[in-house]
Amino acid sequence: MQKPINTGILSYGMSGKLFHTPFIAAHPGFNLDAVVERKEKNAHLRFPGIKSYSTIDELMADPEIELVVINTPNYTHFEFAQKAIRAGKHILLEKPFTVTVAEAEILFEEAEKHNLYLLPYQNRRYDSDFLAVKDIVDGGKLGRLVEAHIRYDRYRYTIGPKVFKETPMPGSGLLYDLGPHLLDMVFALFGEPLEWTKTLGYYRPGTQVDDYAYIHLKYPEDLQVFITMSMLVVEQQPAFIINGTKGSYQKRRSDIQEAQLLKNMNPDDPLFGIEEPGKEGILSCMNADGTITKELIPPGKSSYIHLFDAVYQTIRENKPYSVKKEEIIQQITILES
């Protein structure tokens, strides 16, 4: 393995603590070098020796940092990515990539001009539930696919405290929060759609932003794909339902990695990324004699460390990254439309 990539993270909030620092610290291809902590300085308690900057500009000016993780509020992504490019840093950019297509195109053009990698952080491609679905779809057991339903359900009746999510500003609302996850899953499974329609809802008392979103995407051979995200689902439904000419498959969302990270489990723990019993997917196939065969499909082990494998291989070995520029442009086109 070549020299580790010195990495700085722009925020040590929830995403920094859960989805970035544990994996960067555990991966031999990275060196967790610095983080921005504007007020309380806590990162050193878990990562001794880490540099803690009070401002983003201080971190950007550090000549030792090669890769910057931008995990700040949605509306800041464009501004901070531009700063990173001008500082000569590679970028791992959280979702939503940017608020508008115009912003994304500018960033891609500037990064390419400066020979820098601008990489979208789409961690849900490495969830055990999604990987199980992809195995089923790619395996062909369902026959010709007819329809797919992918959901992200929550129940939060009251307005949350995060201003950048709950007030009308660029990139706020549920669509920009969860839509990038679901659209990325759809693109990874089925490619880009021929056309789509979109519906937003506003249901919580006093809400200023959408708390419900539904997108219908149409594909070749009449495949119909429906994605739904809602803040008002008390009893969570299956996150994935795929129907084909020979069978059906359904799987509930697990979020096992997030749950384990919240309990401070390290990514190198042997049990990390393994779902608990009872979360198996259900494959139902129609037999020639008209009977139905049902099979429980246990998901495999998963880890977001593989996303960082992909980042390392792109920056150090110049290998194509798993999330394509065209997919990001299509994703933001749908969000922005």
| Same domain as 285, residue 199 | yes
Judge whether 326 lies within some domain.
no
- Rounded to an integer, the average pLDDT of 274-288 is 92
Task: In whole angstroms, give the CA distance from residue 82 to residue 96.
Answer: 15
Q: Which residue has 């708390």 as its token pair?
A: 211
State yes or no: pLDDT of 48 exceeds 70.
Answer: yes
DSSP state of 236: P
CATH of residue 165:
3.30.360.10
| Same domain as 176, residue 97 | no
Over residues 127-172, the pLDDT tens digits come to 999 999 999 999 999 999 999 999 999 999 999 898 889 999 999 9
| Same domain as 274, residue 138 | yes
pLDDT at position 164 is: 85
Whether 173 and 180 have beta carbons less than 8 Å apart is answered as no
Q: Among candidates 138, 120, 136, 148, which has minimal Cα distance to 332? A: 120
Q: Among candidates 1, 113, 3, which has minimal Cα distance to 66? A: 3
Judge whether 51 lies within some domain.
yes
pLDDT at position 39 is: 87
Judge whether 330 lies within some domain.
no
pLDDT at position 136 is: 96
Q: Per-residue DSSP letters for 91-102? A: EEEPSSS-SSHH
- Rounded to an integer, the average pLDDT of 37-58 is 94
| Same domain as 282, residue 154 | yes
State yes or no: pLDDT of 254 exceeds 90.
Answer: no
pLDDT at position 2 is: 84
Higher pLDDT, 160 or 242: 242
pLDDT at position 236 is: 87
Task: In whole angstroms, give the CA distance from residue 231 to residue 166.
Answer: 12
Which tokens hold the place of 124? 């849900």
Average pLDDT, the chain: 96
- Rounded to an integer, the average pLDDT of 306-320 is 97
Give the model's confidence band at 279: pLDDT under 50 very low, under 70 low, under 90 confident, else very high.
Answer: confident
298: left (phi over 0), alpha (psi -120 to 50) or beta: beta
CATH of residue 20:
3.40.50.720
Q: Please give the share of the chain, as a percent, with pLDDT higher than 70.
A: 100
| Same domain as 179, residue 76 | no
Judge whether 327 lies within some domain.
no
| Same domain as 148, residue 105 | no
- Rounded to an integer, the average pLDDT of 242-251 is 97
| Same domain as 289, residue 201 | yes
Lowest average pLDDT, out of 23-37, 91-105, 154-168, goes to 154-168
pLDDT at position 1 is: 66
Q: Per-residue DSSP letters for 291-314? A: -EEEEEE------THHHHHHHHHH
Judge whether 336 lies within some domain.
no
pLDDT at position 211 is: 97
**Helix 77-86 vs helix 101-113: crossing angle, to nearest 10:** 10
Verdict on whether the full-model pTM lies above 0.85? yes
State yes or no: pLDDT of 230 exceeds 90.
Answer: yes
Opening angle at CA 299, ends 256 and 331, nearest 5: 70
Residue 250: count of CB within 10 angstroms of its CB: 17
- Rounded to an integer, the average pLDDT of 189-194 is 96
Q: What total of structural domains would you count in the chain?
A: 2
State yes or no: pLDDT of 329 exceeds 80.
Answer: yes
Measured CA to CA in angstroms, residue 119 lies from 72, 73, 81, 125, 211 at distances of 15, 17, 11, 14, 28
User: How far is C-alpha 226 from the chain's CA centre?
Assistant: 18
Whether 50 and 35 have beta carbons less than 8 Å apart is answered as yes
* Residue range of the domain that includes 51: 5-122+306-320
| Same domain as 312, residue 246 | no
